[in-house]
Amino acid sequence: MRELWDVLGNGLLGILGLIPLGGVKVLVVIWFAFLVSLGFLLPKSYIFQGTPDQHWWRDVRYWALIVIALEMIPYLYF
């Protein structure tokens, strides 16, 4: 069984090793953008469920956008 995982792991590393560093950065940024877009697909009624008011700062989607934007900075810079 270990041999199977070694073969699969080495094959995957070989394929991923062919992607240049700039391509990996682009893939990571696209992944983060995809995650943010999924958050904005949630309806407002679900986001504000159980809150006494609907101020913008209670909207979790905006907080997720800020956090993911901060996570993207190292990928874009380094």
The model's pTM is: 0.65
Per-residue pLDDT of 28-64, as tens digits, reads: 889 889 989 998 998 888 888 888 888 888 888 899 8
pLDDT greater than 80 at residue 1: no
In a domain, 54, yes or no: yes
Q: Count structural domains, the chain.
A: 1
Residue 27 CA to residue 35 CA, distance in Å, equals: 12
State both tokens at 5: 């995982």
In a domain, 11, yes or no: no
**Per-residue model confidence (pLDDT) at position 78:** 75
User: Is 23 within 8 Å of 9 (Cβ atoms)?
Assistant: no
In a domain, 29, yes or no: yes
In a domain, 15, yes or no: no
In a domain, 47, yes or no: yes
The domain in which residue 59 lies consists of 20-77
User: Is 45 within 8 Å of 60 (Cβ atoms)?
Assistant: no
